[in-house]
Chain A
Amino acid sequence: MNKREFLKGAIVFFPAGGALAALARQAMGKETGSAPAKDANGKKGYDPASHFYGMGVDIDKCIGCNRCAVACKAENDVPDEPFYFRTWVERYTIARDGEVVVENISLGARETTTQDAREIIRTFFVPKLCNHCQNPPCVQVCPVNATFTTADGAVIVDAERCIGCRYCIQACPYGARYLHPTTKTADKCTFCYHRLVKGLQPACVEVCPTQARIFGDLKSRASRLVRFRRLNKIHVLKPQLNTEPKVYYANLDGEVR
């Protein structure tokens, strides 16, 4: 490189660098403009750090009407196809010979049960959803930090960062995640985060006709969930995995996986 070429390069490089620096400053400016420290919905008074949400499910109250799954799809624009769910309801049928049949009634299988002809000793419904674990395996496996736990205890996915690698879908022991067919990113229950910040209940809890689903704040001294945990014998799904779920089941049968 001779002197002339070097100077030419420098003349092009430095103004370009200046422009880049200006862009960078602008980017920083934007960031501070929408600082996260402000409460999440722009409404005054919501402080994520002072909440920690969980859900209670009373198996004995569930009538299997599937209103929760229907409401969830409507509220969260979950694809219509019957096999995409953020929450769903399972029917457990336990026959005398001990065989357990599990059917997802949200798939439309509720009219027919394969066990009809056999002798059934007990049968019941189990609503399922993301357990919003305190120790979530799905978050651990994400290679790009696209899924995380919010300060108020909801495990959510950043669709703009998700690369659709499906690791989290594999890692979730509860089968609570699916790959959204149009965005091609992982999608899951958010506890209806957009409703929580406005003081509303998740859509599934809202429409439950028998209060089989209870929602509340574990940090509050008097929330429905705290009361629910006080008055019932509580179990969680797959406790042996140490995921520390925040969906608490009352009257859960030992056969439920």
Chain B
Amino acid sequence: MRIPEQVNRLAIVIGVLAALTLVTRFVLIPRSLVSTDLHWAAATQREAIKPVKFAGSTACQDCHEDVALKKAKSFHRALSCEGCHAPAARHADDPTAVKPPAPRDRKFCPVCHAYDPSRPTGFPQINPTAHNPLKPCVSCHNPHDPVPPKVPRECAACHGQIERSKAVSSHALVACTTCHKAPEQHRRSPRSALPSKPETRDFCATCHGQGTAAAGAPKEAPKVDVAAHGGRNLCWECHYPHLPEGRL
């Protein structure tokens, strides 16, 4: 039986279409469009070449050896430089063009050290509003070696309560003996030789007075007009000298 001409033609057309489809699918369409393996590999590659912004813990050592060595022995040894100085890969590549910031502000250290009940017990925490509120943290604690400054302790054995409240006050670094002349005997036989106590408003003025009255005083001591401030009362009738509150 002879196949009709029309059927033959139809078969050819279908054959050509089928061939075209196959060619399109397997030859014309690039494999990257259909192969998941290839597009995953390309995506992985794109991910891998993204720029790094944190240079990493070892990157700073070569140029800042002094800081790195100091920090390595300190309480802050586990901290990353860039946790405080912000990502510094660009600085490490070109130190003169890009300078990393240094967090000197009092608001910074409390992100780790402010008291928070959820923090693990034993982690050193302070109350930022009460702990030496007038000065930046770095004026007393070296950020790369943050040992608490040496507070004079010679009187702590017996006056622990006073010692502890003073240690977290503005007067932390003012030694007991600046305000009390304590005879040596007071430590052995306390009641037989009592130390002196400040007696006049002028005493406090040696640090808090204006002008020449406080010539040799630490410059961070806030100044008041002693003649007018607090009327005729003794300073310690209003300010507890071991934990002076200076702001309302």
Contact = CB atoms under 8 A, between A and B. Distances in A.
Interface stretch (A49-57, A165-173, A174-182, A189-197): A189-197
Interface residues of A, number: 58
Given A66-B111, A194-B48, A206 B42 contact: no
Given A120-B117, A194-B49, A67 B111 contact: yes
A125 interface: yes
B174 to A, nearest CB: 31
Interface of B: 27-32, 36-54, 56-57, 76, 78-80, 82-83, 86-87, 111-112, 116-120, 123
Interface in A4-39: 20-21, 23-24, 27-28, 30-31, 34-36
B31 A28 contact: yes
A24 B30 contact: yes
A110 B111 CA distance: 10
B119 A63 contact: yes
Contacts of A158: 39-40, 42-43, 46
Contacts of A141: none
A156 B44 contact: yes
A71 B49 contact: no
Contact of A31 (B32, B40, B48, B76): B32
Interface string A113-132: 00000001001110000000
Contacts, number: 143
A210 B54 CA distance: 18
B118 A207 contact: no
A140 B78 CA distance: 39
A23 B29 CA distance: 9
A61 B120 contact: yes
B118 A74 contact: no
A232 interface: no
Contact of A207 (B37, B47, B83): B83
B248 to A, nearest CB: 22
Nearest to A67: B83
Nearest to B30: A27
B43 A65 contact: no
B118 A71 contact: no
A40 interface: yes
Interface in A144-174: 145, 148, 150, 156-161
A74 B118 CA distance: 26
A198 B52 CA distance: 9
Per CB-CB distance, the 7 closest pairs between chain A and chain B, nearest first, are: A36-B41, A27-B30, A158-B43, A207-B83, A40-B48, A194-B50, A123-B118
Contacts of A60: 120
A93 B117 CA distance: 10
Contacts of A24: 27-30
Given A34-B42, A198-B52, A207 B32 contact: no
A61 to B, nearest CB: 7
Nearest to B51: A194
Nearest to A146: B43
A245 interface: no
B112 A63 contact: yes
B48 A41 contact: yes
